[in-house]
A and B are shown apart, each in its own frame.
Chain A
Amino acid sequence: MCLGIPGQIVAVTDEARMMVMAEVSGVRREVNAACIAQGPLESLIGKWALIHVGFAMSEIDEDEAAKTLEALRGLGEAQETLEAMAAGDAALEGST
């Protein structure tokens, strides 16, 4: 939960709530973009960000995203985060 994971922003889902769709290691997840938004959310599409517990916290470039993902995989943190995302989806339905 402490280390962010890189994701690429692929769509705006809810402008009012500052929500965008991010692709994280092949998994799509809706995340909040309030902390990196400067102007319309559409301008974030295609950009990479470090995502912490559902919040895009820092814009990074593609090379940094690749390096960070590799470091997280080495620590087993990338898999852990993807599992946590899946658990979160299941929790909405009442099962975990």
Chain B
Amino acid sequence: MKYAEEFRDPVAARAVLDEITKVVGEIGATADNPVHIMEICGGHTHAIFRYGLDKLTPEGIEFIHGPGCPVCVLPMSRVDECIELAERPEVIFTTFGDAMRVPGTQKSLMQAKADGADIRMVYSPLDALEIARRNPDREVVFFGLGFETTTPSTALSIQQAAREELGNFSVFCNHITVPPPIKALLDDPHMVLDGFVGPGHVSMVIGVHPYDFIAEDYGKPLVVAGFEPLDLLQSVLMVLEQIRDGRCEIENQYSRVVPEHGNAVSLAAIDDVYEARPSFEWRGLGEIDASGLRIRDTYAAFDAEEKFNIGYGAERRIVEEPEGCSCGAVMTGRMKPVACPQFGKGCTPEMPLGALMVSSEGACAAYYQYGGARAVEAAE
């Protein structure tokens, strides 16, 4: 337990770890017959590795890293479309910095920028709105990316653009939602999942009830968790206690931030601006029903797909993963990052082959960063 000292409150951390060990014993889980707990959120994946929670917890717990890193599940074809948009001479393409290094089939946004495209990293879609106000003779496109946590920001920005009649602002909407891929994973007969740790900041927006189906239809527990390491440990303990007691409920460990019914203003803005697409493509998971959002017709003037005839609004394109890339298998928990033949060789954070090595929230990047040389050696 040498890492436990890193916790702000090591005494509390040890107490929770002791309880986790006790409950794992009561369940009878072992290294050969572990309990499989999926942490959905990439931020949680990062925290698990940063604080070594996978090493601190007993061997009877197997963490499965979920699909909750938005740049990691972004198909290469979407990156290609971003670059097509960005290379139009009239376009200023604005994006969160996280998306800059995700490889497309030919290049990343970072490389397109080096080649001369006007691509600007922004902190907020509000920055993109301001760029549009200051550049009335240019088309400003914002790359709308992320789960329910970031969706309200683009919805509110589009509403603001509509109020101002800002005709040169549009959003290339690639927002996705958390519950549908969880359902897809639960429907996959190859997946073994005993419980979930849910993303706290997503539930801050949507509340806890969108997950009810996980307990009601699939009989699995889910605990919405905060981001401090102690939050994560407590949430894992709550999942384990449910498994031990034969319960399956949606519990809220992060109630100090997450209201049961979410944030009403955010939900109203999302509902006003967006509607579900029939299906959306996820890297590694394929097409998933009703898992992506599109801009409603009432806001079509602010929809880059409509304005530039690109993306899901236009022709569909299927792009194969790069040869040797196992992101899909890692994403679905069928392969550990170190088992990928490219891990640490053809794919590193400096020269990523797959998206999971790009973002600090990606499982491969987390293994590489915190496993260091040991992780690369293990892969050899």
A residues in contact (CB < 8 Å) with B: 1-4, 17, 29-32, 34-37, 50, 52-55, 57-58, 60, 64, 67-68, 70-72, 74-77, 80-81, 83-85, 87-89, 91-92, 94, 96
B256 and A64 form a contact (CB under 8 A): yes
A57 and B152 form a contact (CB under 8 A): yes
B residues in contact (CB < 8 Å) with A: 6, 8, 41-43, 46-47, 50-51, 69-70, 94, 96-98, 113, 119-127, 130-131, 134, 145-147, 149-150, 152-153, 156, 160, 199, 201, 204-205, 227-229, 256-257, 263, 265-266, 269, 360-361
B228 and A85 form a contact (CB under 8 A): no
A3 and B263 form a contact (CB under 8 A): no
Q: Which chain B residues border A89 with CB–CB below 8 Å?
A: 127
Q: Which chain A residues border B46 with CB–CB below 8 Å?
A: 75
User: What's the Cα separation between A3 and B257 when bound, in Å?
Assistant: 13
Q: Nearest residue in B to A63 (C-beta to C-beta)?
A: B256
Q: Which chain A residues border B265 with CB–CB below 8 Å?
A: 34-37
Q: Which chain A residues border B131 with CB–CB below 8 Å?
A: 91-92
> What are 7 inter-chain pairs, A to B, with CB distance below 8 A?
A1-B97, A2-B70, A53-B123, A58-B263, A68-B228, A84-B123, A91-B127
User: What's the Cα separation between A83 and B149 when bound, in Å?
Assistant: 20
Q: Which chain B residues border A53 with CB–CB below 8 Å?
A: 96, 123-125, 150, 153
User: What's the Cα separation between A54 and B205 when bound, in Å?
Assistant: 15
Min C-beta distance of A95 to chain B, whole Å: 8
B156 and A55 form a contact (CB under 8 A): yes
A32 and B122 form a contact (CB under 8 A): no
B43 and A84 form a contact (CB under 8 A): no
B123 and A71 form a contact (CB under 8 A): no
Min C-beta distance of A25 to chain B, whole Å: 13
A3 and B50 form a contact (CB under 8 A): no
A60 and B43 form a contact (CB under 8 A): no
- Known A-B contacts A58-B204, A60-B257, A88-B122; A2 and B150 likewise in contact (beta carbons under 8 Å): yes
Min C-beta distance of A83 to chain B, whole Å: 8
Provide the main secondary structure of the chain A interface.
mixed
A57 and B156 form a contact (CB under 8 A): no
Known: A2-B69, A54-B127, A75-B43. 7 other contacts (CB 8 A): A2-B70, A3-B201, A54-B124, A54-B126, A64-B257, A74-B229, A91-B120
Q: Which chain A residues border B70 with CB–CB below 8 Å?
A: 1-2
Q: Nearest residue in B to A38 (C-beta to C-beta)?
A: B265
A35 and B152 form a contact (CB under 8 A): yes
A52 and B153 form a contact (CB under 8 A): yes
Q: Nearest residue in A to B113 (C-beta to C-beta)?
A: A96
A2 and B42 form a contact (CB under 8 A): yes
A1 and B122 form a contact (CB under 8 A): no
Min C-beta distance of B61 to chain A, whole Å: 21
Q: Which chain A residues border B123 with CB–CB below 8 Å?
A: 29, 53-54, 81, 84-85, 87-88
A58 and B257 form a contact (CB under 8 A): yes
Candidates A55, A67, A80, A83; contact of B152 at CB < 8 Å: A55
Candidates B97, B199, B256, B361; contact of A84 at CB < 8 Å: B97
Q: Nearest residue in B to A94 (C-beta to C-beta)?
A: B120
Q: Which chain A residues border B150 with CB–CB below 8 Å?
A: 1-2, 52-53
User: What's the Cα separation between A29 and B47 when bound, in Å?
Assistant: 27
Q: Which chain B residues border A54 with CB–CB below 8 Å?
A: 123-127, 153
